A and B are shown apart, each in its own frame.
Chain A
Amino acid sequence: MTSVTSSPLVPPVAAGGDSVPPPPQRRPLLRRGGLSTILILLPAVVLFSLFSWWPILRGLVIAFQKTNFITTSWVGIENFERVLADPLLGQALENTALYTGLALVIGFPVPIFLAVLLAEMRRARGISSFLVFLPTVIPPVVSILLWQVFYDPGPDGLFNSILATVGVDPLPWLQSPSSAMLSIVLVATWGAAGSTTIIYLATVLSIDSQLYEAAEIDGAGIFRRIWHITLPQMRGTILLLLLLQLIGTFQVFTEPFLLTGGGPNNSTLTLLMLIYRYAFIYGNFGQAAALSLMLAAALSVFAAIYLWLSRKWSK
């Protein structure tokens, strides 16, 4: 550790040691490298200001306005009232919660399972990791169009052809309100599991191998090692990714937009799709901004409570 007295910035303590050192002098920002810091930060600040913070502020303002982008008037909380009175809001909220729940049950354990499996592999871990990660690098639109073909409801559709070989009648997949959301969750899980798996895998591989060796000496089998060592060691990552997944799934848009357009019978209409409809189909940007604001506020509150709880549990 560097001695305080070796620092050229702090005057040496006088012999005798009882004199109080003068307060450290604040160097000018420029001499401390301030200009270069500002210059390095500047592009990011400008870009974020223009393309992120400014639109967020504009959205905040538009939520209280009626605008056709030629003339604008203030309408107070009317946009919020209209959104809250929209009968589709309840359904969109319910659908979004259903998607989040299904994604949690189906999609959340998959990457953990895959990561543990990959970590346990002694051979071909590289190629297996690559294959698991592959769906992530396929552009979502391309993969969704592929799944649309897979989900062809006719007897000649790919999945239905496979089911026919075991004597199962064709399923409607996206064409039925009862199966459409589940079908969408499968697509989303397939597309997103790869990147999460890699993060989990990195966590699993960083676990001290001595823990496993000790457990093996104590006679622990593979499942006990996973349960008592791997999963507890992954806890921090799991909690963080769970939060990110919950926020991400609450903002699901691309999959239902491309696969079903919110149908059939609004069974896959999500909150973001409703925002999209307000803004781009009905041209009501005020209502779209109002709902966006409400969603952002709800997610912020949720994230704060989640972080508070997870910190409390970690103590």
Chain B
Amino acid sequence: MSRHPRRVAVELIAAVTASALLLTACSGSSGEAAGGEVTLTVGGKPQATDEAALALWDEKVEQFETENPDVTIEASEVVYDPQTFAAQLAGGTLPVVMGVPVTEIQSLINRQQLKDVSSYYDSEEVLKQLNESVTANVQGTDGAYYGIPVSAFTLAVLVNRDVFEQAGLDPDQTLESWEDIAAAASTITEKTDAAGLGQLTTTNQGGWTLAATSAAFGGLIEETNGEQTSANLDNDATKAALEYLSDLRWNKNALGSNFLLDFDSAGPAFATGEYGMLVGASEWYNPLVRNFGMDPEAYGLFPLPQKAGGLGSLGGGSVSVIRADASEAETAAGVAWSNFYYLDRFADLEFAAEEAAGMAKDGGTVPRVGLPLVAPETYTAYLEAIEPSINVPLENLETYYSAAESPDFKVVTEPRTEAQQIYGLLDTVLQAVFTEENADIDALLAEAQSQAETIVAGAQTQS
């Protein structure tokens, strides 16, 4: 018996629809199995090409699963990427646990995409040891904690020591003021083929570094009062910072000729000696040495000088976060994994020594360069425990670490509301200052201020 053609067509459409629904249904799955067992999806697994890091990762996964028999780790190479984050979240393929930059976390909190993990800050000893300046970054305006800081840094003056020596400068001589930096930049430009200072200007990194410079000059680009934030781009410190940079650009000609720079373009240039200095994250030792081939001995680090009334160094780092829709069991496992992988080394020195030995053997960086996550005495004990495995020339970073241990060292948190958009506005201001000799800084800041007020007000209305 032949079937009616319309019926055939309907059946085919039904089959296709059912398949599509089935595919959709399969895309989001719970990590909980019967009997309290949890399968935890974790991002940040090193790429297969980074054999040393991968070996260490696999070792730690095995160790964690042995210690936590109810948890199975399903690792993926997913790292935070703003282009895919939302799509993966929507499609159910975003790992339950992954690292995100501190810059992004307030936006993710505002969009309610992260799990509140405050209760673990009361129960987990290792979380109680974290510095307040570091944990402040993961707090929402409601005071709750939305992640676990796993690395921290401040913006600092990164120095290519080889370029300094070529210019006849002493790379061990601390740059104590912004005038010192300007003088060094001029000398490098005059005496070598390198440009004195690389200033980032694109992908919101220009705004980020300008915010850091403004803070060191005494001004915040956003001010927070309780849960209310207001834009404050048009302030005296930011204006002074822009005038300082404009002078380096147009009068001292010490910034090179490329004014569309982000770390992906400035990093390799700095590593190969095309720039003498860079204002950037203190933790960039790792990408500069491992990815861009910089000689570890050439990497020098000074804290950002503070003008009179300077507010401190802008902080940053990475945070291990958990998806907002994770179950309680997944959340508990995610916190346990984050503590185990990133923080237990500070609480268990025997474990720290073993781990460091393994990392050094596999070619990893020991210790991780940046701002210590824990109190100075805890960090010193950690350094002593891992001493035989240390392979970073810490003597070249001494000035930075000494400053960071000082009680006077202040860490400024990133803007809480729409940081990326605010940084984007400052990118534009910097580009204008660097590409138009007579750029009107007052007018540029006033325009950026007006746009920032709209953005901040809009974000606060929506949240």
Contact = CB atoms under 8 A, between A and B. Distances in A.
Contacts, number: 114
Contacts of A42: 12, 16
Given A50-B20, A263-B427, A281-B424, A153 B435 contact: no
B275 to A, nearest CB: 13
Interface of A: 28-30, 34-35, 38, 42, 45-46, 49-50, 66, 68-71, 82, 85, 87-88, 152-154, 170, 172, 174-177, 260-261, 263-266, 277, 279-283, 285
10 contacts: A28-B4, A68-B89, A68-B111, A70-B112, A172-B257, A175-B258, A261-B202, A264-B431, A283-B82, A283-B111
A98 B83 CA distance: 27
Query: Which applies to chain B's interface (DSSP): helix, strand, loop or mixed?
Result: helix
Contacts of A170: 257
Contact of B431 (A50, A263, A280, A282): A263
A264 B9 contact: no
Given A28-B5, A261-B202, A283-B86, 7 more contacts: A68-B111, A68-B112, A69-B86, A69-B89, A177-B432, A263-B428, A279-B86
Interface string B1-40: 0111110110010001000100000000000000000000
A48 B262 CA distance: 38
Contacts of B259: 175, 264
Contacts of B112: 68, 70-71
A113 B461 CA distance: 55
Contacts of B462: 66
Contacts of A82: 458
A260 B3 CA distance: 61
B227 interface: no
A70 B323 CA distance: 10
Contacts of A283: 82, 85-86, 107-108, 111
Contact of B5 (A35, A70, A87): A35
Give the residue among B3, B6, B201, B260 with the most A Cβ atoms within 10 A. Answer: B260
Given A82-B458, A282-B421, A285-B86, A175 B435 contact: yes
Nearest to A66: B462
Nearest to A157: B257
Interface of B: 2-6, 8-9, 12, 16, 20, 82-83, 85-87, 89-90, 107-108, 111-113, 201-204, 256-260, 262, 324-325, 418, 420-421, 424, 427-428, 431-432, 434-436, 450-451, 454, 458, 462
B132 to A, nearest CB: 28
A265 B12 contact: no
A87 B112 CA distance: 27
B8 A277 contact: no
A175 B436 contact: no
A281 B257 contact: no
Contact of B12 (A38, A66, A152, A153): A38
A34 B2 CA distance: 13
Nearest to A91: B428
A204 B108 CA distance: 57
Contact of B8 (A35, A50, A68, A71): A35
Question: Ordered nearest first, which 8 A-B pairs have the shortest CB separation?
Answer: A29-B5, A69-B90, A264-B431, A265-B432, A68-B111, A261-B202, A153-B257, A264-B435
